[in-house]
Amino acid sequence: MDAMTLLFEAASGAVQVSRRPMKNTIAEKLATLIASGAISVGDELPSERDLASAMRVSRETIRGALLILSTRGILSVVQGARTMVISANVGELALAEMPYRDVKAYSLEDVHGTRLVVEEALARRAAELIDAASLKRLQDLIAAQEAAKEDPLSFLISDREFHTVIYSAGANRVLADVATTLYAYLMDHRRRVVARPGAIDVSISDHRAIFDALVLRDGNAAAAAFKVHERRIYETTHQIMSREGLVGQSINRGGRNL
Ligand SMILES: [Zn+2]
């Protein structure tokens, strides 16, 4: 048994099913997107209907989640107006992964290298373990992404769901948490990347390739498709940072790269 198999074997027994209300989970997901900078103070959220579609939950669940966030002073929910982010101070509501301020300190190269290793391992494992309900969810999320082509924020919210469904299907919570945390890296830049013409189309076709490989239970194809997607995320993020003269600030900051 190699080390990777051992790692997964050891962790699989620890996977727990959450019994918390779905609205709390959705509130945490939105809080995490706000904490990561994907959604900023002053941003209007997509409509309840669009959020329900992007996250594949009921409108009632979305309403409950928005109420939790508005009670905490994170959102302003006014009848007849779009819901707006008024504070990024989400406190413990952000999912308890690595603190985002620490994630930001890593270089783009290091994050990319780690994502390649972690996501490849999770993709292989997901191809083996993913259940029918999760596959259906991925299919629905791709449909939601098709419908959100003109709305980068809804697309990103749905994109995060898509990725985390696969990370969870890999049945190793530590790796899933690392992958989810690194997914949030430079989210403020990702948002501008997906707003560029054609970017969402390309991402959706990457997602389809990943989905097809999972349906076929082909671990090699799933890992390869994730690699293509991750490479694209790296290159487009790098491009937008170079263009804005940010490369020196966050890239090649110390250490050896993977
Ligand atoms: Zn994606």
State the pLDDT at residue 97.
52
Give pLDDT tens digits for 198-229: 999 999 999 999 999 999 999 999 999 999 99
State the pLDDT at residue 96.
54
Distance, CA 190 to ligand 1 centroid (Å)?
Answer: 10
Give pLDDT tens digits for 90-138: 887 776 555 555 667 788 888 899 999 999 999 999 999 999 999 999 9
The amino acid at 169: A
Which residues surround the ion ligand 1 when the cut-off is CB under 5 Å? 159
pLDDT confidence band for 64 (50 / 70 / 90): very high
Task: List the domains of the chain with CATH numbers.
Answer: 3-93 (1.10.10.10), 100-250 (1.20.120.530)
Distance, CA 166 to ligand 1 centroid (Å)?
Answer: 11
75 bridge partner residues: 85
Answer with the residue of higher pLDDT: 3 or 150: 150
Q: Which of 112, 200, 105, 114 is nearest to 157 (CA)?
A: 200
Whole-angstrom CA distances from 54 to 37, 129, 187, 223, 248 are: 18, 24, 17, 25, 35
Q: Which of 129, 119, 143 is nearest to 54 (CA)?
A: 143
CA atoms of 120 and 213, how far apart (whole Å): 13
CA atoms of 257 and 58, how far apart (whole Å): 43
State the pLDDT at residue 192.
85
Distance, CA 13 to ligand 1 centroid (Å)?
Answer: 28
Percent of the chain whose predicted confidence (pLDDT) is above 90: 56
Which single residue is written with the structure tokens 């989970």? 25
Cβ-Cβ contacts under 8 Å for 107 (sequence gap 6 or more)? 250, 251, 252, 253, 254, 255, 257
Distance, CA 81 to ligand 1 centroid (Å)?
Answer: 30
